[in-house]
Amino acid sequence: MTLAPQPTDASPYQSYVYAYPHKTAYGPLPDRPALTALWAGEPKDALSLYLHVPFCEVRCGFCNLFTRIGAPDGLTTAYLDALERQATTVRAALGDSAGVRFATAAFGGGTPTFLTAAELTRLCDIAEHRMGADLRAVPLSVEASPATATADRLAVLADRGATRLSLGVQSFVDTEARAAVRPQRRADVEAALARIRDAAIPVLNIDLIYGIDGQTDTTWLHSLDAALAWHPEELYLYPLYVRPLTGLDRRRPGPDPAWDQQRLRLYRLGRDHLLAHGYVQHSMRMFRRADAPPQGPDDYACQTDGMIGLGCGARSYTAGLHYSFDYAVGMHEIRAIIDDYVARPAAGFAHAEYGRRMTPDEARRRHLLQSLLQAEGLAVADYRARFGTDPAEDFGAELHRFADRGWLEPDGTRRLRLTAEGLAHSDAIGPQLFSPAVRAAMAAYESK
């Protein structure tokens, strides 16, 4: 197997690997394969369903997600109309309903709760009546912001079976929220959290960010304690990244070793604080309360094969192809992609137009990445059963390098598991496992 040329690993913060290959490695698919052919030979008895809502009330300074600010009159209705047309076409492409079952569901964005309560009801109806997902019988995760987590919206989600509500808070310190270009007041955040608890959705997740300008050890612990006061079942701790075309893009023109050290210090402080308060670490970012109710697969499982994504920012995964619509960060380009999406007839959703083929090598890399970056690590027997080889045969040079740095636990014959310091460097480890072809495609991508 050809080894990938390695990027510099001077910084522990190179890239957040939440999916592989990254969407910037996707490209136009000249053959435009029909969805019926793509899904014909795929297992369909435990699919994941993801519905994407590309609207937010504001655009945070760190955000590079596919989302637009606000929606002109009629756009959310037109978007849901298109989503329903897409769902009808995709469901037909999956074939016989007897063999199709959804095991998990998620609404993401953007901000799904940007939709009104009536529109959220329709979103759930599309998932249930058009796709056949039983939302009350499977884990259903929904993302929200404090301003849109209103009582009527939460009531819809709770009634339709939401089991997890993820709230993007980022900081309980108002000056830090402003520094991250996330205009909100702590009082409004606390009110939203109270409404979420009143709605009795079983799992509350709170997202926090470290590395914000002006943030100190003291203010970071202040935010952590403010979050812990609500006894959230989950907490995600994200390092701040400054990405092209985002609101913070102009503020950090190049490498910043001091900022890297600040983020590492705050990460370790936050990790140790949560572990001391009874949380279990599942990845560099995810911490779960030890007594939290079971929620199903961990955070990486929604990226496995058998993923159906609906909406213009969603991805779908088969074993041989990952596909989506075009991707952009800039507002003008995002609006053009949304406009194209809402104008499509049902037949316009019958083919994959933009994506990346998955070779056996890429499948191995993806399996290794998804497993190794989780705290429980990679079961060598599972890898061997799937691919017929050992990880050390396929990625020996990379694994030796990680071990030499103290990032891998010594005995990896049965399970490859990162050390505590390895988990801290997950965002340096992940990119070193990218293939040369994916790395070249990402380098060639022109931000838009």
Q: Which CATH number fits domain 23-302: 2.60.120.10, 3.20.20.70, 2.40.50.140, 1.10.10.1100?
A: 3.20.20.70
pLDDT of residue 294: 76
Check residue 298 and give its pLDDT.
46
Q: Residue 266 belongs to what H/E stretch?
A: helix 257-276
Mean per-residue pLDDT, 376-392: 95
Does 360-444 match 23-302 at the fold level? no
For the residues 425-435, what does the mean pLDDT come to?
Answer: 96
Among 65, 167, 64, 156, residue whose Cα is nearest residue 115: 156
State the chain's mean pLDDT as an integer: 90
Instruction: Give yes or no for residue 96 having a pLDDT over 50.
Output: yes
- Side-chain-side CA neighbours of residue 234 (13 Å): 23
| pLDDT value of residue 7 | 43
For the cut 60, the answer to whether the pLDDT of residue 9 exceeds it is no
Residue 190 vs residue 177, higher pLDDT = 190
pLDDT of 246 strictly over 70 = no
Predicted local confidence at residue 198, as pLDDT = 98
Residues 6+ apart with CB under 8 A from 159: none
Write down the pLDDT at residue 362.
Answer: 97
Q: Which has the higher per-residue pLDDT, 23 or 232?
A: 232
- The pLDDT score that the predictor gives to residue 230 is 98
Give me the mean pLDDT over the 93-104 stretch. 90
Asked whether the predicted pLDDT for residue 377 surpasses 90, the reply is: yes
Q: What length does the chain have? A: 448
Q: Which pLDDT band holds residue 254 (cuts at 50, 70, 90)?
A: low
Return the bridge partners of 324, or none.
354
Res 62: pLDDT: 55
C-alpha 426: how far from chain center: 15
How far is CA 28 from each of CA 19, 23, 326, 330, 403, rounded to the nearest angstrom? 19, 12, 8, 19, 38
Q: What is the pLDDT of residue 303?
A: 44
- What is the H or E stretch that residue 257 is in? helix 257-276
Stretch 412-418: mean pLDDT: 92
pLDDT of 5 strictly over 50 = no
Task: Please compute the mean of the pLDDT values over residues 356-385 and round it to a whole number.
Answer: 96
What is the tens place of the pLDDT at every residue in 195-237? 999 999 999 999 999 999 899 999 999 999 999 999 999 999 9
Percent of the chain with pLDDT over 70: 91
pLDDT in tens, 136-184: 999 999 999 999 999 999 999 999 999 999 999 999 999 998 888 777 8
pLDDT at 412: 76
Mean pLDDT of 93-102: 90
| pLDDT at site 365 | 97
Q: What band does 4 get if pLDDT is binned at 50, 70 and 90?
A: very low
287: its two tokens:
């911490």
Please tell me the class of the 360-444 domain: mainly alpha
In the prediction, which pLDDT does 302 show? 40
Where do the domains of the chain lie?
23-302, 360-444
- The answer on pLDDT for 253 being more than 70 is no
CA distances 295 to 79, 141, 275, 317, Å, are 30, 9, 20, 22
- Of the pLDDT bands very low, low, confident and very high (cuts 50, 70, 90), residue 300 is very low
Report the alpha-carbon angle 342-348-350, nearest 5. 130
User: Taking 60 as the threshold, does the pLDDT of residue 1 lie above it?
Assistant: no
The whole-number pLDDT of residue 304 equals 60
The residue among 109, 118, 102 whose CA lies nearest residue 157 is: 118
Angle at 126 between CA 80 and CA 318, to 5 degrees: 100
Mean pLDDT highest for which of 9-23, 59-73, 165-179?
Answer: 165-179
